[in-house]
């Protein structure tokens, strides 16, 4: 979405001038003004009136952007394509089509989007939003260093960044690449200016999740949901973040409700399916969970999330080679994701490939010391190597980080039993059962 004040429309409105119904330029300015204030239905009507006067490339590109916000993807792409046809030298048409295609399902969509945004940048190389769109596409493709470079370029071209939008997007891709401290520094800077809009709160929720501060993640997600903004409601903003936080807080029923709402509102995004699959897996409904993972893959085939969930399920059911195949695909798509390397280590431990298992676990902890799975994986490596004391120490560290994770207690109980500590093992087993039983209560 293009942001920032439209000086022409603001000039007219400040001075109380009437917008001539037959003036293409003024109608365009009015449509832009309405669009920037999230009044999308009025903006679309105004842009359509302008297009009836003249099939203008810029106005078609604007209507494409408006229709994307209204989630009418096919019409948005048609407008962007028509904008390119009538104005092949206008970079906006290519940029808008790139935005639409970057959100479309199918493995070829990001590559098509990348070609469009590259063409847009060739036509005009100093527009900040073009680099932000390309940064998002690079992130989809797992090309994080390029994504960071473009996000920095977008911010450089929009130094004032009054809304904090470009700083938030830079922080998001930094967080995905495990540059957590820099992402946190950016967030604190924006919060210090008093801003608490969607992009700021979404970043705050994601960062809190990565720090295992699940209650703060829930709080920030709920603040997004409670914002009085029809545009955010149209995109079910906050519900994906809320579902993820509630799963970690062991509140499965609420997490399921949030995931279902997200799926029903934005069925072409994968996050809701992944969240619902995780809840279903915890409840032992593996077949239903796999259907959701298939749906997640169909709408977002370049994502690693469906591979990670499948690998976890296959590991639990002892299909180790299949699990390894899935997690290797996840690692191939997102090499910096510590949780994927941790699961890979667990699978390799079960396959008795201990050298690789240790390397994967150590790599996971070095990528992100806050990753709970990494310490569990390292503990399981120590257990397999006969170092029971080390195994208990690592898993206990994970428990301290995430005291509501049932699998930590389940694994530590088994190891405590091996260590000849039946009373402590019994306590852990009781805690595991308590968390399992209360998940859907």
- Confidence label for 161 from pLDDT (cuts 50, 70 and 90): confident
Give the tens place of pLDDT for each residue, 178-200: 899 999 999 999 999 888 888 89
Which H or E run contains 322? helix 320-333
Give CA–CA dist 381/388, Å, rounded: 10
The percentage of residues in the chain with a pLDDT greater than 90, rounded to a whole number, is 75
* Burial tier of 292 (Cβ tally within 10 Å: 0-12, 13-18, 19+): buried
Q: What is the pLDDT of residue 7?
A: 53
Mean pLDDT of the chain: 91
From first CA to last CA, the distance across the chain in angstroms is 41
User: Superfamily assignment of 1-125 in CATH?
Assistant: Tetratricopeptide repeat domain (1.25.40.10)
Give CA–CA dist 422/413, Å, rounded: 8
- Confidence label for 19 from pLDDT (cuts 50, 70 and 90): very low
Q: Examine the pLDDT at 15 and tell me if it is beyond 60.
A: no
**250: left (phi > 0), else alpha (psi -120 to 50), else beta?**
left
- 102 Cβ partners below 8 Å, 6+ apart? 109, 110, 113, 133, 136, 137, 140
- 36 Cβ partners below 8 Å, 6+ apart? 2, 3, 4, 5, 6
Give CA–CA dist 201/254, Å, rounded: 20
Q: Give CA angle at 4 (3, 9), nearest 5°.
A: 115
Is residue 200 within 8 A of residue 190, CB to CB? The reply is yes
Mean pLDDT of 281-310: 93
Give the tens place of pLDDT for each residue, 52-111: 988 889 999 999 999 998 888 899 999 999 999 999 999 999 999 999 998 877 667 788
User: Measured between alpha carbons, how far is residue 129 from residues 27, 115, 166, 196 in Å?
Assistant: 23, 16, 9, 21
- Confidence label for 37 from pLDDT (cuts 50, 70 and 90): confident
Better-predicted residue by pLDDT, 396 or 143: 396
**SS3 of 262, please?**
helix
């Amino acid at each position: 979405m293009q942001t920032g004040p439209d000086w022409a429309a603001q000039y007219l409105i400040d001075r109380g001038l009437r917008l001539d119904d037959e003036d293409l330029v003024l109608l365009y300015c009015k449509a832009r003004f309405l669009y920037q204030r999230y009044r999308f239905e009025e903006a679309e009507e105004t842009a359509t009136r302008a297009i009836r006067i003249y099939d203008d490339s810029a106005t078609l590109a604007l209507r494409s952007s408006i229709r994307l916000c209204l989630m009418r993807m096919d019409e948005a792409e048609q407008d962007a394509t028509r904008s390119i046809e009538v104005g092949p030298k206008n970079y906006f048409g290519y940029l808008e089509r790139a935005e639409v295609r970057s959100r479309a399902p199918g493995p070829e969509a990001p590559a098509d989007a990348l070609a469009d945004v590259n063409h847009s940048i060739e036509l005009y190389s100093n527009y900040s939003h073009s680099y932000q769109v390309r940064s998002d596409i690079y992130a989809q493709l797992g090309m994080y260093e390029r994504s960071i470079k473009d996000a920095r370029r977008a911010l450089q071209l929009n130094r004032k960044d009054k809304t904090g939008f470009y700083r938030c997007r830079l922080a998001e891709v930094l967080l995905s690449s495990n540059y957590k401290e820099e992402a946190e520094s950016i967030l604190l800077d924006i919060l210090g200016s008093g801003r608490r809009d969607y992009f700021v709160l979404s970043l705050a929720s994601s960062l809190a999740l990565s720090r295992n501060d699940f209650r703060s993640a829930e709080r920030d997600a709920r603040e997004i949901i409670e914002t009085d903004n029809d545009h955010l409601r149209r995109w079910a903003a906050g519900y994906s973040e809320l579902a993820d936080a509630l799963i970690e807080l062991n509140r499965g029923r609420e997490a399921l409700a949030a995931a279902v709402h997200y799926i029903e509102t934005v069925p072409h995004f994968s996050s809701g399916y992944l969240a619902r699959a995780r809840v279903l897996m915890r409840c032992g409904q593996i077949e239903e969970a796999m259907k959701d993972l298939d749906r997640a893959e169909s709408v977002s085939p370049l994502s690693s999330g469906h591979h990670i969930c499948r690998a976890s399920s296959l590991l639990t059911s002892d299909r180790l080679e299949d699990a390894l195949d899935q997690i290797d695909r996840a690692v191939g798509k997102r090499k910096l994701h510590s949780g994927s390397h941790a699961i890979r280590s667990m699978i390799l431990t079960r396959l008795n490939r201990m050298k690789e298992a240790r390397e994967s676990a150590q790599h996971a902890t070095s990528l992100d010391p806050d990753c709970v799975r990494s310490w569990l994986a390292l503990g399981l490596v120590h257990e397999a190597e006969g170092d029971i004391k080390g195994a208990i120490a690592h898993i206990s560290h994970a428990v301290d980080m995430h005291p509501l994770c049932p699998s930590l207690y389940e694994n530590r109980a088994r190891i405590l039993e091996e260590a000849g500590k039946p009373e402590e093992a019994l306590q852990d087993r009781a805690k595991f059962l308590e968390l399992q039983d209360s998940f859907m209560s």
